[in-house]
Structure 1
Amino acid sequence: MIGYGLSARTFHLPFIKLQPELELVAISSSQPELAIDYPQLSHYPDANALIANSDAGLVVITSPNHSHFPLAKAALQQGKHVLLEKPLVLSSEEGQQLTAIARQSGRKLAVYHNRRFDGDFLTLQQLIRSGELGNIHYFESHFDRFRPEPRARWREQAGPGSGILWDLGPHLIDQTLCLFGMPRAITANCRTLRPGGESTDYFHLQLHYPDKEVVLHSSPFCASPTLRFMLQGTKGSYQKFGLDPQEDALRAGAMPGGTDWGLEKATDYGVLATVDSQMSYPTLAGNYALFYQQLVAALLHDAELPVPVVDALAGIRLIELAILSSELGLRVEVVG
């Protein structure tokens, strides 16, 4: 494990511990509590030292976004499998290079888009497959927060890969690509709205498809209950507020597993509406552990990765085009 911040402690280590096929052997971090929390492991203050000296077969990289490419490249060249926190990298060119290196080295390159395993997103997929809403023509996805003042952390400071578009944008884009594939064009507005802000803290992306429109949105000024999804079709619509409960449970120190893991309270269910009725629609259970289960199957049995790298690369390309659209103030066509 490279990094011992929120991502490693909350979204990776609990699920690594669940997998009997995986053994945590080393962590690279300068945080002093590491020696207390994991005294039995090999500790490396430098990530490159871990890559060069550890005999680990899989390296999980949770360090800041700008370090993803060089660290993943080094690990692959050392013959190690790599799991990168999202975003995969910060450019299409970097992603293509990593893909080529992984192919040449015969190693797996995976990216952690865990929100494919959010219960509300699994529910969306079920609704679309069932045809209950008819043909879908509008989709809206929000990841809003109430954080009106910038925080002193790398994600909100100036620098490559910082800002909310690189933090939450990959989640919303990846889920949309899972549902509908690549759009024909994108129109984006990416802003720094908070006083004293150093990086993008607001985005509004509109993805243009031949038969539908998609809006992806994030604001730091949403103090009210937050809209998560709006799905509208020819037979009805589905509206969902609030976030999947897994993150809050993990932050509170709960260990994943058990029959009630990832289940929402009935009061948090979304609403399915038609011309004649309106009903609470149960949310499927979310389960981030499925990501690691599928990753293990890919490493040991050459099964398909939980998130194909080609999907992650498509998401990076859309972020690049969103930045271009915002800078130019124009709709940008998606080529290829």
Structure 2
Amino acid sequence: MDQLLRVGLIAYGYAAKTLHAPLIDATQGLQLTAIASSRPADVIADWPDIVVKTEPDRLITHPGLDLVVIATPNDTHYPLARAALAAGKHVVIDKPFTLDLREADDLVQRAEEAGKLLSVFHNRRWDSDFLHLSQTIAAGTLGRVVEFTSRFDRFRPDVRQRWREDDVVGAGLWYDLGPHLIDQALQLFGMPEAVSADLVLRRDGAKAVDDFNVILHYKTMRAVLAASTLVHGGTPRFLAQGTQAAYSVSGLDLQEGWLKAGLRPDRAQWGVDQREATVYHSFNDAISSESLPLGQGDYAGYYAKIRDAILGLGPNPVPASEACNVMRILDLARQSAAEGRKIAVI
């Protein structure tokens, strides 16, 4: 790779430390040049040769940076991205894009005016199970999908002291996991006709949404998106019912866990998932099944595609316009839950 793109990363919390920093560092043609963090000692311990800034604005104005990656608390995404675009940088924002569609639309306009790439890190497009499900649906194996369920459940009964679980704007499970599930559903089925949602606080002492059940209503099908912090197990990650067959897979993609354990995405066999999906067939009331290997996930592919898009060698892997559709559903679900009714997607 002849041209080296220099990357600045704002924040060094869980997402930045576990996902963004190692993925950027493992991508040929990208150089992780600077990190902004209120805990500089943590950064230096992991990246002793990197430039460390204590304030985001000082990183944004750091000379020579081509790309700024924003992995800060959700309520800071919009102002930081706005500042980075104004400084002439390409921008990647961790999900959710912004707090609402109004902010998202404004950033899209600013990026277009600046002639800069703007992308959102919807990394779960590159989960092994989602890639396999997408291929299975596209191949026509299931026929026409009539019902789709996407769940992301965990058992975390204790409310932790962190901004994601506090009573602040942009916190809660719907802002945390909702964007992943929405984005995957929109990739499979496009925009729905209507949205209905139940966003609740179930745990003792909960301050933010920790359980959701959202239905995307389509003309001939529905997609159910759900997540909870009080599920011990037993629920499939994906369940799709079609006119020809059904598809089920349980468990989670392994890449985040590997990154958390310190494994690098440039190692051999990265993303290879040993889980299997099950496809069910029914004929004359007799049910048969077959197990299919999931194959390989590819989180590292996101930043390789970002590199190529900046260099004019390929498309933006997650265009901001697609992230705006996610924000639209995120907003409509909150409206539906607040008003207790189905909301049309206009």
**TM-score over 0.5 (shorter chain):** yes
Give the partner amino acid of 1:29.
S
Q: Aligned partners of 2:326, 2:119: CA distance in 1, in Å?
A: 14
Structure 1 residue corresponding to 2:264, chosen from 241, 252, 255: 255
Greater per-residue strand proportion: 2
Q: Deviations over 1:60-104 (max 9, x none)?
A: 100000000000000000000000000111111111111111111
In the alignment, does 2:97 pair up with 1:93? no
Partner of 1:206: 215
Q: Say whether the 8 Å CA contact 1:62–1:85 is kept in structure 2.
A: yes
Pick the aligned partner of 2:292 from 263, 281, 286. 281
- Report the equivalent of 1:311: 322
Alignment of 1:180-329 (within 5 A): 180-265=189-274, 268-275=275-282, 276-301=287-312, 303-329=314-340
3-state SS of the aligned residue for 2:321? helix
1:128-143 matches, within 5 Å, as: 128-143=137-152
Report the TM-score, using the length of structure 1 for normalisation.
0.97
Between 100-109 and 255-264, report the one with greater CA deviation.
Answer: 255-264
Letter in 2 for 1:211: T
TM-score (norm 2): 0.94
Aligned CA-pair RMSD? 1.1
Partner in structure 2 of residue 165 of structure 1: 174
Contact 2:126–2:298 (CA under 8 A) maintained in structure 1: yes
Letter aligned with residue 235 of structure 1: Q
Whole-Å Cα distance in 1 between the matches of residues 288 and 202 of structure 2? Answer: 40
- The one of 65, 70, 73 equivalent to 1:56 is 65
Residue deviations 1:153-196 (CA, integer Å, cap 9, x gap): 11001111100000000000000000000000011000011111
Q: Which residue among 307, 313, 331 is the counterpart of 2:342? A: 331
Q: Distance in 2 between matches of 1:193 and 1:256?
A: 36
Which residue number corresponds to residue 127 of structure 1?
136
1:4–1:28 Cα contact (<8 Å) kept:
yes
Once residues 260 and 323 of structure 1 are traced to their aligned partners in structure 2, the CA distance between those partners, rounded to angstroms, is 40
- Measured after TM superposition, the shift of residue 23 of structure 1 is 1.1
Match of 1:175, SS? helix
Looking at structure 2, the residues matched to 30 and 180 of structure 1 have their Cα atoms a distance apart, in angstroms, of: 41
Identify the residue that residue 77 of structure 2 maps to in structure 1.
68
Task: Tell me by how many angstroms 1:36 deviates.
Answer: 2.2
CA distance in 2, matches of 1:12, 1:159: 24
3-state secondary structure, aligned to 1:72: helix
Q: Secondary structure of 1:165's match?
A: helix
Identical-residue share of aligned pairs (%): 41
Shift of 1:211: 0.8
Distance 1:169 1:210, change over 3 A: same
Tell me if structure 1 keeps the 8 A contact 2:69–2:92.
yes
C-alpha contact 1:26 1:54 (8 A) present in aligned 2:
no
Cα deviation 1:110-137 (Å, max 9, x = unaligned)? 1000000001000111111111111110
The count of corresponding residues between Structure 1 and Structure 2 is 333
Question: Contact 1:225–1:242 at 8 Å: present in 2 too?
Answer: no
Is the CA contact (8 Å cut-off) linking 2:35 and 2:52 kept in structure 1?
Answer: yes
CA contact (8 A) 1:92 1:316 kept: yes
